[in-house]
Amino acid sequence: MTGTGSALGVPAERREGRQKVTGGARYAAEHPLPGRVHAWPVPAGVARGRVTAVHTEAALDLPGALAVLTHDNAPRITEPDDPTLAVLQTPGVPHRGWPVALVVARTPEEARAAAEAVRVEYAVEEHDVRLTADHPEAYEPEKANAGFPARREWGDPDGAFASAPVRVDVSYHVPPLHNHPMEPHTSTAHWDGDRLVVYTSSQGGTAVRAVLTALFELPEDRVTVVADHVGGGFGSKGTPRPDVVLAVMAARETGRPVTVALPRRHLPSVVGHRAPTLHRLRLAADTGGRLTALTHEVVTHTSRIKEFVEQAAVPARVMYATPASRTLHRAVRLDVPSPSWMRAPGESPGMYALESAMDELAGALGMDPVDLRVLNEPEREPDSGKPFSSRHLTECLREGARRFGWDRRDPRPRARGEGPLLLGTGVAAATYPVLVGPSRAEARALPDGSFVVRVNATDIGTGARTVLAQVAADALGVPLERVRSEIGDSDLPSAPLAGGSSGTASWGWSVHRACTELADQLGSRTGPLPDEGITAHADTAGLADADSPYARHAFGAHFAEVAVDTVTGEVRVRRMLGVFAAGRILNARTARSQFIGGMTMGLGMALTEGSTMDAAFGDFTEADLASYHVPAHADVPAIEAHWIDEEDAHLNPMGSKGIGEIGNVGSAAAIGNAVHHATGVRFRELPLTPDKVLAGLARPVTSGRGG
Amino acid sequence: MGAAHDDGTRATGHHSEVTLTVNGTPHTLHLDHRRVLLDVLREDLGLTGSKKGCDHGQCGACTALVDGRRVNSCLLLAVTLDGCEVITVEGLTDGAGEPHPLQRAFLDRDAFQCGYCTPGQICSAVGVLAEAEAGHPSHVTDPATAPGRPVALDAAEIRERLSGNLCRCGAYPRIVEAVEDVI
Ligand code: FES
Ligand code: FES
C-alpha cells in the first residue's frame, strides 16, 4: 500500500507467508543447535496412586540413552502456581498419563525405545473418572474460569418458570474435547553458559519466561524464550505446559540442548482439554415469546490437582433480556487430567446449549428463531446492568438471514428431502467478551525512512506481525511497507499472550501508543536522524486494564444447512454462513481466515469431535487423530464469513474487538438446530455421529415442536 | 545430527547405508533401521519444512513426494528407500528461489494460518495434480469416467483427495481455492 490511506483494514498479505509456504519457517523443534538430543516422557500407567519404583537400568543400557529423569533424581523446582507443571517432583500420580519419567537419548528413535524400556511400579488406588449430573461430590465453586462468579441469580426464576404458559426444560451434553493444534507441544532448551535459551511452542513467551525464572530460580535477564512460529494453540498453549519444564530439566541434567516434542497421543492427558459439560436449561416465555425466566445450570469436572471450571453458563448472563435468571456452575473433582482452555472456554459449550434451547423455545412458541432472538434483545447487559459499548446482534441476524436466504425456509421440521436425505437449516447467535491486557511496545524511526515496532507478541496463526505493522503504519501515517515488526522473543518488550481473543487489542494498543509518541517526536525535530534512529516506548498498564463503564462483547449469527442421510445416519453440512459484529476489522484477509477457522472447529464439535473417559482405565479413549476426528477437507463445504461495519469508541485506539474465538461460538448450535429442522428429532448430546442419529431416527416422531 | 550415528550404534548392527536423492541432491547416509524418512529429512538433512504432526500417518503434515508420489514420510522406514528420489516443500521452489505456482496460490488465497500443515498440504496437492492427470479415480469420481483418462478436479474432488491432510486452523476452503487456481 502506498499513499496516505489508512493501513487498517486492508487485506495485507501475511509477512511470514512466504517462509511458511516454502518450509523456511522454523518451529520449536527446528532451530539448529549442535549436539541437540531428544527426550521422551513416560506417562503414568495408572489413574491414581503412587510410583513405588522406577527401573531405569534396561533403558540406560540401550544405545544412545543418556539419562532417565524420575522424581528421585530430577532437578528440584520451586513450587509452581500451576500444579500441572510440578512434574517429576513427587511420586504421586494424579491421573493416567501424568509424566513419571523422562528419557533423554541422542535420537528420537533411541529416546522412544528407551522410554518403552523403563519399567514403573505403582501403589494403585481406586479411581473415579465418571462425571454424572447428580455426582455426590459435586460442589459449587466460588469462581468459574476467568474469575466469573459461579452463581448469579435475579428475580424468581423457579416461580416464573412454574407459572409460565410456554416452557422448555432440556438437558444437553458436550463431551470432553481436545485442542489438538497441528504442532504438538514442543520445547527445546539450551544452556548457553549461565543463560537459558528456550524455543517453545507457546501462545505467550513473556509468561513462559516468568514461569521458568520462578521455577528454576533464575534472574529474568538470563532467560530468553523464543516463540517465532507456533503451529496453533487454541488455548492449550496459553500458559507453559510440562514440555517446557521437562526440556529445561533435561538440558540442565545432560548439559546438552534437549527437545521435548510431546507425542500426539500424550497431548490429551498433559496439555489440558475442554472439560465435559452437562447442561440443564429451563426457559420460560409468555405466549408472545418474551422470556420470563432463564435458568442455565452446568455440571463439569476438574482434576484433583487443579480447579478449572468451564464457565459455560456465563453467556446466559449476556444474551437475552429476562426478569428472572439463575446461572450456576457445579464441579466434580475426579481422577482426570486437568482441564484447561480450549477456544472460547465457556462460550463455546454454553452457547451450544443456550442456542439449542432457544431453538426449542421457538419451536414451542411456533415462532421464527431469528424473530425470537430479536424480540428478546436486552437494552443493557442483563447481569451487570451496564450499557453495551456496542451490540449489533440483530443486524448480524438480519444480514445473515438475508444472505443465507432464510426467508425461503419452510419452518416445518422434516419438510424437505432428496431421496434418502433429509434437509434442514438452522440459526444460532454468537457472543464473545472483549478482553484486553496491558502490554509494552517500542517503536523506532530509522534514518532510511523505515520504522520498526517491537513487542513480544506471538503469532499462532493470526498474522500478528502483519496486523501490528498495519496498526503502526496507521498511527505513524506512513505506508505499510516502510514498517517492520519484530515479535516472538522475550527479549522484546513484554506482552501478554495470544489468548482470549485479546492479543491484537493488547499488543496493538501499546504499538499504537508508541507510534503516536514517536510521530510526535518526529514532528517536533529537525535535521537528520542519528544512525541508531529514535525510539519511543509505551506501556499500557493502567490504561488497557482499566475498568470500563460499558459491557463490551462481540456478537454474531450463524446459519447452517445440513443433509441427514436416513440410511447411514450421516450428517453432512452443506453450507455455513456467519455474520459478525466485532468492531473494526483490522485485516480483512486474515480476519476472514480466523472466523472460518473458528466455524470449522464448531463443525467438528457438532459432528465429529468427542472424547470419552474410559471408566475402567481412567484415560481418554480417543487420544490420537485416528480416533479423535477433527474435521477434514471432505467435511468442510462452502463456509462464508461476513462482518458488519461496527464503530465502537469504547474499546481501544483501533476500535477492534477480538475475533479468534467468536467464529467457534454458536456454530455447533446452528448445525444441531439444522439437524432438528431436517429430521424433526432433537439430539441433545454431541457430537451428532451416525450411531446417535440412526437411533434417534428410529424413535417415533411425535411432534416437531420443541422436539 | 548425522554425527549421532557413530561407533556406539554401528556395533549393534541395526544400521545400513542408504542413498537418497533429496531435492536433486544425492545423500549417502548411515541410518538406524528405525529411522523414518521424516526424521531423515528433519534430523539428518536439516530439511524441517516437512512437519511432524502425529508421527503415525494420521495428519499428513509430513507429506513429501517419493518418486513422484505423495507419501506420509513418517510412515516410511528410510532404509527401504535406497535409490529413491525425494521432493520436499523446500524442493518445490524453482532454481531462482521463486515459489511454485501452488505456493504462490496459497499466499494469494491466505490458505493457511499457523502454517504447520501447509508444507504437507502443498506437497499433497502436487501429488493430487499428478494423480488426477494420470487418471487415478477417487471416491467421488464419477464411475462412468473413462479409465486412464485425466480426471477433472472440481472442488469435491480436491476436498476428497486432500482429506488426508488435516488443518486444525480450518483453512480448508482457501486451500481448495488455491488448488483450483493452478488447475
Ligand atoms: S506426521 Fe506423518 S501423518 Fe502425521
Ligand atoms: S494452517 Fe494451522 S494447521 Fe493448517
Q: Which residue type, as a one-letter code, is found at position A312?
A: A
Q: Residue A184: is the preceding peptide bond cis (ω within 30°)?
A: no
Cα nearest neighbour of B92 on chain A? A22
Structure confidence at residue A702 (pLDDT): 52
Cell numbers linked to A103: 528419557
Partner residue facing A601 (CB), from B48, B99, B170 = B170
pTM of full prediction above 0.95: yes
Which cell is A600 given? 470449522
CB burial of residue A269 (10 Å; 0-12, 13-18, 19+): buried
Alpha-carbon distances, residue A433 vs A376, A649, B117 (angstroms): 19, 16, 30
Phi, psi dihedrals of residue A563, rounded to the nearest 5°: -120, 125
CA dist., res. B80 & res. B76, Å (int): 8
Query: In B80-177, at which residue ranges do the beta strands (DSSP E only) sit?
Result: 85-87
Alpha helices in A1-117 (DSSP H): 17-22, 57-61, 108-117
Strand order in the sheet with A195-200: A65-70, A99-105, A37-43, A258-261, A186-192, A195-200, A223-226
Q: State the closest ligand 1 atom to the C-alpha of B63, by its place in the atom list counted from 1.
A: 2
Q: H or E element: which one contains B181? A: helix B172-182
Edge-to-edge strand list for the sheet holding A92-93: A92-93, A49-55, A119-124
Q: What is the DSSP letter of A131?
A: -
| Mean pLDDT, range A69-90, rounded to an integer | 98
User: Which residue, among B172, B177, B180, would best test binding to A if mutated, counting the most A CBs under 10 Å from its CB?
Assistant: B172
Same topology for domains B15-91 and B101-182, yes or no? no
Record: contact B110-A600, CB cut-off 8 A: no
3-class secondary structure, B129: helix
What is the pLDDT averaged over residues A592-615? Answer: 98
Q: Quick one: what percent of chain A has pLDDT higher than 70?
A: 98
What distances in angstroms separate CA A355 from CA A198, A349, A369, A427, A553, one per listed residue? 43, 10, 10, 8, 17
From A465, A456, A463, select the one nearest A200 (Cα to Cα): A456
Contact, A646 vs A582, CB < 8 A? yes
Residue A515 CA, distance from chain mean position: 30
Strands A258-261 and A277-285: unpaired
Subunit contact B110:A16, Cβ cutoff 8 A: no
Q: In what order do the strands lie in the sheet with A151-154?
A: A151-154, A325-333, A291-302, A277-285, A166-174
Short-list A320, A253, A258, CA closest to A291? A320
* Domain B15-91: CATH architecture, name and number where available: Roll (3.10)
Question: 10 Å Cβ neighbour count for B6?
Answer: 10
Cell of A311: 464457565
CA B24 to chain centre: 15
**Calpha distance A453→A473 (Å, rounded):** 10
Angle, CA B46 vertex, CA B44 and CA B50 arms, to 5°: 105
User: At CA A118, angle to CA A113 and CA A119, rounded to 5?
Assistant: 140
Give me the residues of B, 66-85, that contact A with CB < 8 A: none
C-alpha to C-alpha distance for A111 and A94, rounded to whole angstroms:
25
Residue A117: φ, ψ to 5°: -85, -5
Alpha-carbon span A462 to A232, nearest angstrom: 9
Is the Cβ–Cβ distance between A296 and A350 less than 8 Å? yes
Query: How many angstroms away from the CA of B71 is the closest CA of chain A?
Result: 17
> Which residues touch A636 (CB under 8 Å, ≥6 apart)?
A573, A600, A603, B159, B170, B172, B173
Across-strand partners of A196?
Answer: A191, A223
The H or E element that residue A252 is part of is helix A242-254
Q: What is the pLDDT, as a whole number, of residue A339? A: 98
pLDDT of A700 > 90? The answer is no
Higher pLDDT, A704 or A116: A116
A661 is annotated as an active-site residue: yes
Residue nearest to atom 4 of ligand 2 (CA): B167
Regions in chain B scoring below 50 on pLDDT? 1-11
Phi, psi values for residue A602, rounded to 5°: -70, -35
CB A552, CB A651: distance < 8 Å: yes
Neighbours of B123 (CB within 10 A): 29
Structure confidence at residue A5 (pLDDT): 73
Nearest to A111 by CA among A29, A26, A31, A232: A29
Question: Tens digit of pLDDT for each residue in A491-517?
Answer: 999 999 999 999 999 999 999 999 999
Name the one residue in this structure whose C-alpha cell is 479413549: A621
Ligand nearest to the CA of A263: 1
CB A18 within 8 A of CB B100: no
Q: Which of B114, B165, B174, B176 to mutate to test the pocket of ligand 2 (most atoms within 8 A of CB)?
A: B114
**Residues forming beta bridges with residue B32, ordered by sequence position:** B15
CATH of region B101-182? 1.10.150.120
The answer to whether residue A373 scores a pLDDT higher than 80 is yes
Measured N-to-C along each axis, helices A667-679 and A347-365 cross at an angle, to the nearest 10 degrees, of: 30
Cβ–ligand 2 distance for B171 under 6 Å, the answer: yes
Give the tens place of pLDDT for each residue, A415-434. Answer: 999 999 999 999 999 999 99
Q: Which atom of ligand 2 is nearest to the CA of A231?
A: 2
Q: What is the reported pLDDT for A28?
A: 98
pLDDT of residue A706: 39
A340: how many CB neighbours lie within 10 A of its CB? 25
Contacts with B48 from chain A: Cβ below 8 Å: 23, 26-27, 29-30
Spacing, Cα A580 to ligand 2 middle (Å): 22
- Closest of A297, A295, A304, A296 to residue A332, by C-alpha: A304
Domains and CATH numbers, chain A: 17-25+437-539 (3.30.365.10), 37-126+182-232+237-270 (3.30.365.10), 145-177+274-434+549-697 (3.30.365.10)
Tell me: pLDDT of A355 over 50.
yes
What was the pLDDT predicted at A274?
98
3-state SS class at A686: coil
A295, containing H or E segment = strand A291-302
**Residue A104 in this model has a pLDDT that exceeds 90:** yes
| Domain boundaries along the sequence of chain B | 15-91, 101-182
Instruction: Look up residue A698 and give its three cell numbers.
Output: 428410529
Question: What whole-number distance in Å separates Cα of residue B181 and Cα of residue B102?
Answer: 8
Residues of chain A with Cβ-Cβ distance to B110 below 8 Å are: 13-14, 17, 589-590, 592-593
H-helix or E-strand spanning residue A223 = strand A223-226
Closest approach of chain B CAs to the CA of A281, in angstroms?
31
Residue A705 has pLDDT above 50, yes or no: no
Give the distance between the most distant pair of CA atoms in chain B: 59
A541-574 core/surface letters (b: 16 or more CB in 10 A; e: else): eeebeeeeebbbbbbbbbbbbbbbbbeebbbebe
The b/e string for A684-707 (b: 16+ C-beta within 10 A; e otherwise) is bebbbbeebbeebbeeeeeebebb
Listed in sequence order, the DSSP H helices in A384-483 are: 393-404, 464-476
Q: What is the pLDDT of residue A701?
A: 59
Write down the H helix ranges in A274-384: 347-365, 369-375
A617, A682 Cβ separation under 8 angstroms: no
**Measuring CA to CA, which residue among A633, A659, A628, A688 is closest to residue A274?**
A628
SS3 A361: helix
The amino acid present at A408, given as its one-letter code, is R
Inter-chain residue contact A461 with B162, CB threshold 8 Å: no
Confidence band for A704, pLDDT divided at 50, 70 and 90: very low
Residue for grid cell 531428544: A38
Question: Across the strands, what pairs with A558?
Answer: A428, A578
